[in-house]
Structure 1
Amino acid sequence: MTTVAQLTDFSDRLSPMVVKELRQGLRTRLFGGVMLALHALLVLITLMTASSTGGQARGLMDGLVSFTLCLIFPLCGFSALAGEMQANTMDMLVLTRLSTWRIVFGKWAAIIVQSLLVTISVVPYLVARYVFGGSELGADLVSLFQQWMISIVLTAAVVALSTQKHFWLRALILGLPLVITVFGSFAQIIIGIMGRATFSSGVQPQFLGYVSAVAVTAWLVFALLSFGASRIAPASSMLPVRKRLVNLAALIVLSGLAWWVDPVGLVGVMMMVLVVASLDAMTDDVNNIPSLYLPFYQRGFVGRLVSWFLAPGWMHGFLYSLLLFGVCSGLLLWLRGGGDAARLWLLGGCLWQMALFGHILAIQRRGEYLGAFFAGLCIQLLLTFLTVLVVNVSKFKTDLEWVACVMPWNAFGAPSKPFVGQWSYFQVGVMLSTLWPIFLTLPALLAFLRTRTARRQARQFALSSHE
């Protein structure tokens, strides 16, 4: 009796979105071409390493791998979601009962699995380099793993921004960071935010440094993918609440790890988490839907109080950002003194000023907050340059020095430069940065007024359910 071998395929436990995208990705000419070209070049470089004792061949190999993992594969997600929206297939994906998070995650997972295959295929060349060139195999493997982590973070960023329909906007937002990544500096900032602890002496600090790098990577991937998922989620989605809770937990956990591993890096970790969390929260769309507020009003006074900071909508995100920056600045003031606390608050002033410019530009364009924020950043940088130019070129330089203090970025550039009497540029800039959240309160109040009907109906539903 003959037995028939059963054909096996991907497990049903895998997300169908991952299976679909991975099948299509592995069949593309891009993946096959990149794999063949990379290995052909690596063979030549390995032969060069075997015949030479210099480090030029090793540097060429590292640069080639970094270019492939940190530029080519992330760019594969450049039109991942924009293509679905332009082809009008997003509604069909939603009808399959896949959540927006699973759709975005599937797009991202398919690309990082391909990059993982390429990463694993590079390991034999590292072994050959160790045999021929005498390099440290352990350090090379750790460096390769860090490059793959950088790749998955950049891929998440590209996939998240692919929700923007405008090609030029995606190109502008992604162009500069990816160019900097090619030279390695931006990549080291993302994953090596606790880098000094990673190279510390001793097993425990080194292990905790690796744990911190993995934790930062995992949080960044979640934050970026959630950012993209919220852009294609239905208006009644509560995803912004989950995002803000996770970002709050990440702020607590990563700050604790930074304080334990290397207290000097605490300020940098707080700045990174606060920037990502604030930009995400202050770009949420405003929807006048009672179901967004009903879960909060059903929990009484505490729920209503929490809704001011966690409810969907950029005006609640602004209060959420203001609360996080205020608490973290107060904590740094208690732990490290006024200098670090002032720098953190000044960073908040930069974000709130950019948000003010963005929301002024988007006052008649609901749902276009990300593009307006980018335009606000451009306006902010232009005004910063113009104020510096006016102060340095004008004949009335001494009378116009106060103009430079209006832009928060100028205070970062001249922290100890004297201004008036006992006050420095930095101190005046920190005090003026308090004005920007006050100015931002006006458009936030207008957004609150637009949701007044939804909040009133949610309160009535909550009262009727208790009766």
Structure 2
Amino acid sequence: MTTVTPLTDFPDLLSPMVVKELRQGLRTRLFGGVLLVLHALLVLITLMGDASSNGTEVRGLMDGLLVFVLYFIFPLSGFSALAGEMKANTMDMLVLTRLSAGRIVLGKWASIIVQSLLVTVSVVPYIVARYVYGGADLFQDILTLGFQWVASAVLTAGVVALSTQKQFWLRAIFIAVPLLLSGVSSVGWMLMGTMSRTMASGGTTTTAMGWQYAGWIFGAAWLIFALLSFGASRIAPASSMLPVIKRLVNLAALFLMVLMAWLVAGMASVSSALPEVLVVVLVVASVDAMTDDVRKLPSIYLPFFKRGWWGRLAGLFLAPGWMHGFLYSLLLAGICIALVRGPDAANIWLVGCCMWASVFFAQLLAFRRTGEYLSATFAGACMLAFFTMLIFMVQTSSRKEELKWLSSLFPINTMSMPHHGSTAGMNYYDLGLIANGVWPFLLLLLALRAFRQTRPARLEAHQLARS
């Protein structure tokens, strides 16, 4: 009897979505053109700058050219990765292939980062030439090149995730602004500068440095997961339980990042950066959770009711729907505030109030609509910024002390106030911390209304769990 040996070639080892997108991407003029032009310019820069010298000008030009390719060209190639599928009505065909929403988004992202990885690896000979002829630090340059590619993978994940938005203007704003303003300075050069300072400091141990590198890699991996899962949940069916997985992973990532910061607690820079890390996790996880659609399906509540009272308690924070996401954001904010002390805890509270105020305005704008909560949240953030600037202009033009209390009404104005001391013995900063609690309270009222809309689905799920 003849046995059939399963195929184990390249297409069978990878996801079919990755293979399809990668084959199409490698055949495009973009990849070939970028590769040829990049190497032509690198050769020209090397010849003009004399490869035998380790000049800072040559290194700056090479790094700047590679940063432009990795941080702009390849991430922007995913600008319409999923929007194009939606516009061409081919998303249903992909679903029929039994590919999950997560695998579809992962395939789009993986095809782009593999292309960028090929370009990144092709630059290694130029780094080796600088080391051989100019005496450059080979380990530092290779490590910097690897972190540049990781940062490119994070930016690409954000672009692919936002490509699920049908509005072209919304995608353009969310994608173009971060890439243009902070794509190079905040993501790339910040990593390289921090890494250089860390390696240059004599008091840093090898173990602490290793944990710091591991923390960067873990943070990038979590951010990629958070962004890709955000995009996947936007094209997933209404019965999908992906929001539950996302929120559990984000909660676990919060504690793991704190643990890694504790492992390098001897480094003052890492310890001082803990509040910033907590704010990033809080904002990313909360915005994702509070822009989730309201789902009136018993099937999404049934797994929680089957687990008894603790399952119903967990469902309040983990079940799909923006109202559960709001409670989840309150939980995250409480954990972050408990992990820090002093002014940092107050700032985290005000950051949370900024999110809740934006979502409150968003819910008012989309009061009789469902879906597209991300665009409504963006409009709500614009409204919050408008009122913030209005109060700032009123105070600047009048300069009257009796109007200073206006800054206590909005969280961004409160952040700019001094923490201690004020005329008439009143601390307006502390007043702002209390007054801004009105935003989560107002959003809670709207969340109760959304809970009432899903009450029939929860009752049916409760009956099915008891039967």
TM-score range, shorter-chain basis? over 0.9
Residues 337-385 of structure 1: CA deviation (Å, up to 9, x unaligned)? 3222111111111111111111111212211100011111111122211
Residues 204-225 of structure 1: CA deviation (Å, up to 9, x unaligned)? 1111111000000110011000
Work out whether 1:310 is the aligned partner of 2:314.
Answer: no
Residues 135-187 of structure 1: CA deviation (Å, up to 9, x unaligned)? 21111111111110110000000000000011111001112100023442244
1:451 aligned residue: 454
Alpha-carbon shift at residue 189 of structure 1 (Å):
6.1
2:272 aligned residue: 264
Work out whether 1:20 is the aligned partner of 2:20.
Answer: yes
Q: 1:336-415 to 2 correspondence within 5 Å?
A: 337-394=341-398, 397-415=400-418
TM-score, normalised via structure 2 length: 0.93
Residues 15-73 of structure 1: CA deviation (Å, up to 9, x unaligned)? 00000000000000000000000000010111133266642221111110000001110
Aligned to 1:214, which of 190, 214, 217?
217
1:293 aligned residue: 301
Output the CA distance in 2 between the equivalents of 1:230 and 1:382.
30
Residues 410-453 of structure 1: CA deviation (Å, up to 9, x unaligned)? 22223346445454443232222221100111111111111011
Alpha-carbon shift at residue 196 of structure 1 (Å):
6.9
**Quick one: percent identity of the two aligned structures?**
58
SS where residue 296 of structure 2 aligns? coil
* Mapped contact 1:198–1:210 kept (Cα < 8 A): no
Output the CA distance in 2 between the equivalents of 1:110 and 1:71.
16
2:125 aligned residue: 124
2:31 aligned residue: 31
Output the CA distance in 2 between the equivalents of 1:196 and 1:397.
45
Give the letter for the 2:465 counterpart: A
Q: 1:162-241 to 2 correspondence within 5 Å?
A: 162-187=163-188, 201-241=204-244
SS where residue 460 of structure 2 aligns? helix
Output the CA distance in 2 between the equivalents of 1:194 and 1:241.
35
1:56 aligned residue: 57
Alpha-carbon shift at residue 77 of structure 1 (Å):
0.5
Output the CA distance in 2 between the equivalents of 1:376 and 1:429.
20
SS where residue 402 of structure 2 aligns? coil
Alpha-carbon shift at residue 331 of structure 1 (Å):
3.0
1:87 aligned residue: 88
SS where residue 82 of structure 2 aligns? helix
Give the letter for the 2:436 counterpart: S
Distance 1:133 1:384, change over 3 A: farther
TM-score, normalised via structure 1 length: 0.93
Q: 1:106-145 to 2 correspondence within 5 Å?
A: 106-145=107-146
* Mapped contact 1:193–1:213 kept (Cα < 8 A): no
* Mapped contact 1:274–1:321 kept (Cα < 8 A): yes
1:329 aligned residue: 337
Alpha-carbon shift at residue 86 of structure 1 (Å):
0.4
* Mapped contact 2:54–2:134 kept (Cα < 8 A): yes
Output the CA distance in 2 between the equivalents of 1:460 and 1:188.
57
Alpha-carbon shift at residue 328 of structure 1 (Å):
2.2
Output the CA distance in 2 between the equivalents of 1:153 and 1:257.
20
1:103 aligned residue: 104
Output the CA distance in 1 between the equivalents of 2:72 and 2:148.
11
Range with bigger deviation, 24-33 or 191-200: 191-200
Residues 220-240 of structure 1: CA deviation (Å, up to 9, x unaligned)? 011000000000000000000
Distance 1:143 1:245, change over 3 A: same
Output the CA distance in 1 between the equivalents of 2:195 and 2:288.
23
Q: 1:405-444 to 2 correspondence within 5 Å?
A: 405-416=408-419, 418-444=421-447
Distance 1:61 1:316, change over 3 A: same
Output the CA distance in 2 between the equivalents of 1:193 and 1:281.
31
* Mapped contact 1:157–1:225 kept (Cα < 8 A): yes
Output the CA distance in 2 between the equivalents of 1:166 and 1:16.
28
Give the letter for the 1:436 counterpart: W
Residues 276-324 of structure 1: CA deviation (Å, up to 9, x unaligned)? 1101110110010000100000111111111110000000000011011
Residues 78-116 of structure 1: CA deviation (Å, up to 9, x unaligned)? 000000000000000000000000000000000000000
* Mapped contact 1:152–1:221 kept (Cα < 8 A): yes
Q: Considering only aligned residues, what root-mean-square deviation do their CA atoms show, in Å?
A: 2.1
SS where residue 400 of structure 1 aligns? helix
Output the CA distance in 1 between the equivalents of 2:191 and 2:294.
30
Distance 1:187 1:314, change over 3 A: farther
Give the letter for the 2:309 counterpart: F
SS where residue 176 of structure 2 aligns? helix
Alpha-carbon shift at residue 409 of structure 1 (Å):
1.2
Output the CA distance in 2 between the equivalents of 1:278 and 1:110.
28
Output the CA distance in 1 between the equivalents of 2:37 and 2:457.
57
Q: Gaps (5+ residues) in structure 2?
A: 1-6, 265-269
Output the CA distance in 2 between the equivalents of 1:199 and 1:435.
47
Distance 1:463 1:278, change over 3 A: same
Output the CA distance in 2 between the equivalents of 1:125 and 1:57.
11
2:282 aligned residue: 274
Output the CA distance in 1 between the equivalents of 2:243 and 2:206.
39
Give the letter for the 2:310 counterpart: V
Distance 1:279 1:457, change over 3 A: same
* Mapped contact 1:149–1:191 kept (Cα < 8 A): no
